[in-house]
Structure 1
Amino acid sequence: MHAERILSGMRPTGSLHLGHYHGVIKNWVALQHSHECFFMVADWHALTTNFDDVSVIGRSINEMVIDWLASGVDPEKSTIFVQSRVPQHAELHLALSMVTPLSWLERVPTYKDQLEKLSHKDLTTYGFLGYPLLQAADILVYKAGLVPVGEDQVPHIELTREVARRFNHMFGREPNFDELARAAVKKIGKAGRQFEALRTAYLQGGDAEALQEARAILAASQNLGAADRERLTGWLENKGKTILPECEAKLTAASKMPGLDGQKMSKSYGNTITMREAPEAVSKKIRAMPTDPARVRRTDPGTPEKCPVWQLHEVYSDGDTKAWVQAGCTSAGIGCLDCKQPVIDAVVREQQPMFERAERYVSNPKLVAEILAEGNARAEKVARETMRDVRAAMGLGA
C-alpha cells in the first residue's frame, strides 16, 4: 500500500459550480502539496446514470479538467487522467466481480437511495448496481492508501476494504509462499533473525509490541523490493501476500456552499453559480436571489438568518461585513441590494484567478490533451503493475 497516495475523481456530467469548488477541489489543491495524488475524470461512472445521453460526457471532460486547472490543481504535482483511457480499471472491475457477492452490492446504502431519487431514469442495470465495485477497482488498481470522501461515501470505502480482504484471502497464498518469505527475511540482513523472533512472539503469544517492532524493521529495511515487502507483511501475521491493500477513508468536511435559493448548491435544483461564470451573470443571479420574506418594503426590518443571502455572507464575508449586514438588515438601515453587493464582489474576486489560469487552456486546447495524455500514461504504468500481480494470483498469467 502507498499510505500517502490519494485517489479521487469526479464525473463529467456538466459544468462545475462553486459547490464543487468549495466541497472538493479546494481540498485537492491543498492535498497535492503533501500527498501523491491521482485525480480521475470518471467517465465510466458517468455512464452508469447517463448512458442514455452520452453527449454531455464528451462535452464535459475538457471543460471539467480546465476547471480543475483553473482552481490550482497542478499537473506537475498531480496525475490527472481519464478513467476509460486506463483499461486496467475495467479489467480489475471484471476480476473483482468474479468473487464479490451480489448481496454486498445490494446493501450499499446509496443504491436504493439513488434508485428513489433518480426514479425517472432506467437504472435497472448491472452498471448502476456495480458502480461501487468499479469505484473499488479505481482505488485498488493504484493501491491508494487514502480516499477523500464525505460521510455518505464511507460505506463505499468499507466495501472496497471488504473486497480487498476477500481477494487477498482467496488469492494471496502463493504455492511457495513460506519459502519465498523466508528467502525475503535473509535480505533484511542482521535484523532478519530479530524479525523472525518478533514474529514468533506475536503469533505464539499475541505480543502486540512485538508486532509493531517487526513492522518497524520492515519499514526501515532498504533491501526489500515491493513484492518481498508485501510478502513479509502478510507472513508476519500468518496471512498471505497482500496483493490489494486496504485503503482508508479520508473524511472531508461537507460543503457549506449554499445555492441561490438557500438549498445545497446543485445542478438538479437549478441554483448554481458555475466556477467560471461571467461577472455580469454572477451579479444578475445574486441580485435576483430571494431574501427574507418579512422585508416586503425597503423600510421593513429583516432577520438575516432567514435570508439565503446571509448564508453566502457566512462563506464569503469577514466579521466586519457580517456585523454591517446584521445591523443594517435588522434596522432596515440597508436594502437587500445593498446587502447583496459585498457577496457579488467576493464571488467575482474569487473567480478572477480562475479565469486567468483557465485562459491559456481555453485558447490552446492542445495543452489539455497533452496533460491528459501524460497523466493517462503515468496512471496506466502504475495500474499495469497492480494487474500483473492480480493476474498472476488468479492463474491468468503475469
Structure 2
Amino acid sequence: MTTGSGRTGPATAGSATTGSATTGSVRTEGIARVRLGTEGPEVGVQGLGCMGMSFAYGPTDADEARATLERSLELGVTLYDTADVYGMGDNERFLAPFVKAHRDEIVLATKFALTIDPADPTKRIIDNTPSYIRSSVDASLRRLETDVIDLYYVHRRNPDVPIEETVGVLAELVAAGKVKHLGLSEVTGTELRAAHAVHPITALQSEWSLFSRDIERGVVRAAADLGVALVPYSPLGRGFLTGSFVSADKELGEDDFRRQQPRFTGANAAANAALLAPVRTVADAHGASLGQIALAWVQQRAAVHGLPVVPIPGTRRRVRVEENTAATRITLTEDQLALLEPIADAVAGDRYADMTFTSAAREKQLGV
C-alpha cells in the first residue's frame, strides 16, 4: 500500500499480527488491550476517532466509512469516539447502526458541551449547565439508539461553571444508569483533580502528538497520580504527521476545517513540514509510514509517564485503520525517541485559531 508519506509497504495489521482471537462473532487480530482508568472498561490499546466519517474533512464515502468501522473491530479496536457537536448530531446518527449491531462488543464514547450560540448561529458556545447536561445526554441516547453511554465526556469546560457542579450532575447520570463512566476533555491538571474528588474520572481526552505536548506540563502528571487514562485525540496531527498534505489552504477543500488552523497554513505549514525529517528517518529504519511512527511515539508515552494511553486516530478508510493498528506493534528505541524529542518545541502556529477553551490556554493564565 502507499501511505500519505509517499512510502510504499508500511507494516500492516495483516502482516504483523500476533495471533487472533474470537470475541463473540468478531475475529480480532491481535492488538493488545488495556483498562481505562482504575475502574473503567478494558479496550484495545488504540481506539477510533469517528468525527471525520461524516464531518469536518470534506466529502466522505459513507459505505467505505461503515466498512472501516467493521474492519476496525476485526482488528481489535473497541473504543469508538464521537460527539454531539460533530455535524450537530449527524455523526452520532451515522454510528447508530454500528452501535446497535455490536453493542456488547464495543465501548461507546460521546461528548457534550459545544453548542450553537442562540444569539448568533454562526458561533459556538460552551454550555456546562445542569439543564443542558441532562438534555444533552437524552438527545445523544436517542441519536445513538442505545440505552446507555459507556464513556461520557465534558467536551470543553466553561470556567464560569464550577467543575464540581458539572461532575456532580454527571454523577447523577451514572446513578440513573444513563452513563457508565465519566471523562473530561481539555482540562487542566488542577481541574482534573477537583473533578475526580467529586466522582471518579475514567479518561481524559486531549490533543497529544509529536506536534502537541502541552499537556505534559501538568495534566499528564495529574492523570497518572489519579489513575486516569489518557485518550489522545489527533495523534496524527490531523493528518499532517502522515505527510498527506503540506499546506491546508493550498491543498485541502474549502469545507476542510484544517484550513482554519494556524499551524497548517502559510509559512507555518512550510516550516512544520521540515520538522518531519527525523520522523522520516525513523520510519525508514522500521520500514514503516510516517503516521505509524507518530502513533508508536504516542503509544510509548504510557511507559514514559506511567498511565494507560489509548490514542484515537481518526480515519474513514479501511487501509488506514489497518496501517494505524499495525503501529501498536512498533517499538521505538531510546535513540529514536531522542531524535524525535525536539520536534514539538519547534512547531510554528497554534493548534486552534482560538485557543481560549483549551487546557494549554488556562494553564498559561495560571503560570503552569
Q: TM-score scaled to structure 1, two decimals?
A: 0.27
Q: TM-score scaled to structure 2, two decimals?
A: 0.29
Higher Cα Rg: structure 1 or 2?
A: 1
The structure richer in strand per residue is 2
